[in-house]
Amino acid sequence: MILGLDVGGTQTDAVVLEDGHVRAHTKTVNRPELLETLGQSLDKTLAGIEPDKIQRMVFSTTMATNAVVMDNMDPAGMIVSAGPGMNPEWFSVGPSYHVVEGCMDHRGTEVMALDKSQVKEAIREMEKAGVNACGIVCKFSVRNPHQELQLEEWLGDQFGYKALGHRFSGSLNFPRRIATAYLNAALHKLHTKFISSLETTLTERGLNAPRYLMKPDGGTIRLDKSCEFPAQTAQSGPAASVMGALALDGCKGVTLVLDIGGTTTDMALVLDGLPLWVPNGIRIGEHRTSIRSLLTRSVGFGGDSEVRVEDGKKLSIGPMRRGEAMAFGGPMPTPTDAMITLGLMEEGDKDLARKAMEDIGAQLSLDAEKAAKMILEETTKGMTKAVIEFVKRINSRPVYTIHEVIEGIKIDPDRIVVLGAPAPIVAPMLEKAFNIPCVVPPHYQVANAVGAAAAKVTAEISLQADTQRGSMVIPEVGLESAIARDFTMAAAMEQAKEALFSRGLAVGADPGDQEFAVIEKEEFNMIRGGYRVGKNIRLKLALVPGLIPDCNCGGQQL
Amino acid sequence: MIRAKRKTGLVFFPAFDWAISPTHPEREERLLYTQDQVMEEGLLDVPGIREYRVRPAKYSDLQRVHFCVPDEPSMATESHLISAGGCLVAADAVMKKEVESAFALVRPPGHHAMKVVHGNRGFCNVNIEAVMVEYIRDVYGVKKIAIVDTDCHHGDGTQDVYWHDPNVLFISMHQDGRTLYPGSGFAEENGGANARGTTINIPLPPRTGEKGFLYALDELVMPLLEKFEPELVINSAGQDNHFDDPITHMNFSAKGYAELNARLKPDLAVLEGGYSVEKALPYVNVGIIMAMAGMDTSTVKEPGYDKHYAPQAPDITDYITNLMGTLKDQFLINPPAPHPAKNGEIITTSKRIFYDTDMINENQDERLVRCRDCAGALAIDSHSSKGNKMMGIHIPKDACPMCQKTAEKWVNEALDNKKFHHIFLQDRTKCTYEVLR
Ligand SMILES: [Zn+2]
Ligand SMILES: [Zn+2]
């Protein structure tokens, strides 16, 4: 049996899967303390189940996100070397941010060495500021990590945890690398403490199976390994839903996934079972990071969105949520009240819902039913508009080769999978609006928890080989090695695969899972003075998001 | 939090799958390190900087500008259409006011492509700036436009396209034609009979540095722009004036390019040449993008700047000071007198054009109506060493009745003449292009 648990904004969903079936599913209202919420959800979901029957557990939590958004992270220092370009002071973050001299160019050639005395000074400043973790980031460190490693060495054991920029992502983006290293450093202690409490909570209940955390890229990571990459566990909720859609439905063709929550509706796209990723990285609070994430977009339409009448005639829905629907004791009319009034939903106080609709109707000179209908129409219209905008944006992403311009594959959804409590009510309306099949899979209310349970481990590595410099770097695994002048793409592919699989194993991937995707594969001849002086090879491989074998059945059994 | 002071659009198209030949300067690798630098700087994350996706231009976009012989498909490959289309995307972004300015960082370049196209000249087939200008005129109704070409090579193609057009001010600053391809761009070349003084050439000596470029800009280019009052300023932002460029002999820098751009404040910039792919382009492009976005560029410089950049030598400074004195006199104080020919008179000229990349010789005999009311009807009789004989007749956008009638007469004469393999009529008043033979 597999346990999947997803902590949302207001409630926590959990499921137990057995032989590809949903054996139990629960919803628990969140407690102020995350661990308390987790404990209650576990007890409720596992009632009547022998703990040693659970063979795998996956958690999607809000720990990292909340710490970032509330800004109650640990004080983390930053040491940064930049060289020419944008002023590195513009990316200052945290209580003790220090720019030291030093420069690496785009080929990974050291242009200016670090100055030890400046670094010593920065260390003194960080001590004074009382930091207990440190981020180390150099420009172009993914091309040559030498200066970051040098800084790590000079810092010694002074600061407990050191976040080296090149280890988190092989992508080029210095400001995002800074933000990512900072968040990892600032979250490390909190996250480690949380993980150890969670381990205790699990052990107390006799739950000893392998445990994982959900990541925003639609994959998972082993609980203990997550301490090395704490920021990679932030904002995993939307990804859990998408993986749920994949497990419950299979998502063949071009599938748009809509997850309708209380406050927002999340959108994502899945192409023949493979969810789309954002090109650069996720934004957590005010920080733009290089952390991989599924491409999801949130719009301010949900079941509990506030409904108002503006200027005496215009219906306005969302983006605020003032509380629950009036039918559940909330303060403002909501789309949920409209559904109850129209008899589309059984739950809730019908009289209160009706009163909400009468209130809105009075301002528009309509009766309660007509007002409710109008609210649902407007909500559907808003969602439709957001979906069109989302797809349009994806289709206008820049491309850099003639081939891609000419091929110009346009994404055009041919089906929609709707999740969340109001799914069965909203789906027919969306089907009418888009004129494509709208599917509501079984267990649509807890798809997020199913997704967490079913998601397999993901990992990614980047390789850059420069035969003129005679060097190959795979930053994520800290590999830098000399190569011969006749190094080829085929050899690079072998090295990259080996690195990917070992990285995958380290973060908890199934040794049997060697299915990978080539994200980027480029090879350039380097010409100087009319002669070829070398080759520039770039590769990015990934264990892409997918379902563990037990759950990979296109929704047939679940 | 950083933010662009001016909203800036970026159209980036490095054409990673296109080269003239494997070792040619115009090859796949050219913008590779520029891409690396732009990505690593995180410029595309800066609020106010927006990246746009390219779209291919259509053959009809080319027909507003060129006479392609024998036809567009054989002169413009997909890469040329995409590069030109990138400029159109940039133009749309600015004209629709989505951004205040935009930079088309695209390749292949275009400023050596002339009105008649028989092949590739100076790495160019399609004049991407001209395609953009004519698109803007047709779609957005803009009349007066200035193009400032800061590529190291004389923008002879753009000069040729706008030679007779009094509504386009073309200014080229470049390395003196006596010392560099294409060997033209002297101050005496100041526009056709109906457009005297709207072509301006500033031939700078080899080794011109930051000081000289900015001096020429302040002393001559900016006052000329002020006087012309264009609705739109376009910068042909070639980057081969760089001190590290392998095919030129100038002494400019990333800092200088950024400063030039900040002062010129073009509405649209288009990449042209620039072949120091590793040591110059990444930094020059970052500098230009930041300058366009109104950001402080004082921290942008090449890693080799302190070691390899030598400030402009005093003899060069003296030379440029003298040159600017002369040019100011020629263009600002005593601007060129109108052409003496009578209204309606036909002016004939002949010229030879060499296509260095494709090794083609072309002979042109041109007839122009001297006209005080419009840019004048134009007939180009061209034959190339490939054997193609073409007659191209151009009716300018604001053509007067007299010029329209003359053009009609020329068309009939050409149709009666068996020697032409191709006859084209480019009627800019109707925005049409007819293949008559
Ligand atoms: Zn040039
Ligand atoms: Zn006329």
Q: What is the ipTM of this complex?
A: 0.93
Q: How far is CA B396 from the centre of its chain?
A: 19
Q: Among A183, A216, A236, where does a domain finish?
A: A236
Spans of chain A, pLDDT less than 50: none
Closest in A105, A173, A402 to B82, CB measured = A402
Q: Residue A10 has what pLDDT?
A: 83
Identify whether A88 is part of a domain. no
| Nearest listed ligand to the Cα of residue B403 | 2
**Are the C-beta atoms of residues B146 and B49 closer than 8 Å to each other?**
no
The whole domain housing A509 covers 459-550
Per-residue confidence (pLDDT) for residue A556, from 0 to 100 = 56
Residues near B419 by beta carbon (within 8 Å), at least 6 away in sequence: B389
Looking at residue A321, what is its pLDDT? 87
Chain A contact for B18 (CB, 8 A cutoff): yes
Give the Å distance between the CA of B233 and the centre of ligand 2.
26
- Counting ligands in written order, the one closest to the CA of B373 is 2
pLDDT at residue A320 in the model: 87
Q: Where are the beta strands (DSSP E) in A272-356?
A: 274-275, 283-284, 287-288, 296-299, 305-310, 314-321
Residue A35 within any structural domain of the chain: yes
Query: Is residue A144 in a domain?
Result: no
What's the DSSP call for residue B333? I
With tokens 């020697």, the residue in question is B419
CB B393 within 8 A of CB B372: no
User: CA-CA distance, A246 to A448, in Å (whole number)?
Assistant: 10
Question: Would the CB atoms of A400 and B52 count as touching at under 8 Å?
Answer: no
Cα–Cα dist A243/B208, whole Å? 61
Q: What's the token pair of residue B403?
A: 């010029």
CA of B194 to the centre of ligand 2 (A): 9
Which of helix, strand or coil describes residue B150? Answer: coil
CA distance linking residue B384 with residue A121, whole number of Å: 70
Residue A553 confidence (pLDDT): 63
pTM: 0.94
Residue type, A7: V
In Å, how far from its chain's centre is CA B329? 25
* Two structure tokens written together for B226: 């002020």
Helix (H, G, I), strand (E, B) or coil at A195: helix
| Ligand showing the shortest atom-to-Cα distance for residue B245 | 1
Contact B12 A398 (CB under 8 A): yes
Domain membership flag for residue A408: no
A37 domain residue, yes or no: yes
- How does DSSP classify residue A90? G
For an interface test with A, which of B40, B296, B305, B309 has the most A Cβ atoms less than 10 Å from its Cβ? B40
Q: How many degrees, rounded to 5, is the angle at CA B31 between CA B277 and CA A404?
A: 160
Check CB contact of B53 with chain A, cutoff 8 Å.
yes
Q: How far apart are CA B112 and CA B54, in angstroms?
A: 22
Q: List CB contacts (< 8 A) between A176 and chain B.
A: 42, 45
Alpha-carbon distance of A233 to A226, in angstroms, equals: 7
What residues does CATH 3.40.800.20 cover in chain B?
Answer: 8-333
Question: In this predicted model, what pLDDT tens digit does every residue of B214-246 receive, in sequence order?
Answer: 999 999 999 999 999 999 999 999 999 999 999
- What letter would DSSP give residue A165? G
Task: Give A438→chain B minimum CA distance, Å.
Answer: 31
Closest partner residue to B53 (CB to CB) among A112, A398, A536 is A398
> Is B118 designated active site?
no
Class in CATH terms, B8-333: alpha beta
Question: Is there a domain that residue A310 lies in?
Answer: no
Q: Which of A187, A215, A236 is the last residue of a domain?
A: A236
Residue A459: name the closest of A229, A126, A240, A135 by CA: A229
Residue A478 resides in a domain: yes
Last residue of a domain, one of A182, A208, A236: A236
Does some domain include residue A317?
A: no
CB contact under 8 A, B54 and A107: no
Q: pLDDT value at position A558?
A: 61
Closest residue, chain A, to B288 (C-alpha): A85
Single out the residue of A98, A226, A89 nearest to residue A506, CA to CA: A226
Tokens representing A285?
A: 């609070």
Helix intervals (H) in A71-145: 116-129
CA–centroid distance, B253 to ligand 1, in Å, is 15
Q: For residue A128, with 0-12 CB atoms within 10 Å meaning exposed, 13-18 middle and 19 or more buried, which class applies? A: exposed
Instruction: Measure B23 CA to nearest chain A CA, in Å.
Output: 5
Segment holding B426, helix H or strand E: strand B422-427
B residues 68..127 contacting A (CB < 8 A): 78-79, 82
The parts of chain B modelled with pLDDT lower than 50 are none
Contacts of A204 (CB under 8 A, 6+ apart): none
ω into A511 cis (within 30 of 0): no
Instruction: Answer whether A8's CB lies under 8 Å from A261's CB.
Output: yes
For residue A402, the model assigns a pLDDT of 83
Of all residues in chain B, the one with the smallest CA distance to A408 is B55
B126 close to B84: Cβ distance less than 8 angstroms: yes
Could you say which of A84, A286, A527 has the minimum Cβ distance to residue B299? A84
Q: Say whether residue B27 is in contact with chain A using an 8 A CB cutoff.
A: yes
DSSP reduced 3-state for B282: helix
Q: What is the pLDDT of residue A404?
A: 82
| Exposure string for B221-243, b = 16+ CB within 10 A, e = fewer | beebbeebebebbbbbbbbbbbb
How far apart CA A493 and CA A120 sit, in angstroms, is 41
Mark which residues 270-299 of B lie under 8 Å from A by CB: 278, 282-283, 286, 290, 295-296, 298-299
Report how far apart, in Å, the C-alpha atoms of A303 and of each of A300, A326, A330 are: 10, 11, 12
Q: Is B246 on the interface with A (CB under 8 A)?
A: yes
Residue A554 confidence (pLDDT) = 56
- In this prediction, residue A54 carries a pLDDT of 96
**Which one of A180, A290, A527, A537 makes the best mutation probe of the B interface by having the most chain B beta carbons within 10 Å?**
A527
- The number of distinct structural domains making up chain A is 2
What's the A5 CA to ligand 1 centre distance in angstroms?
Answer: 61
pLDDT at B131: 98
Distance CA B323, CA A220 (A): 68
Phi, psi of B284 (to 5 degrees): -60, -45
> What is the pLDDT, as a whole number, of residue A312?
81
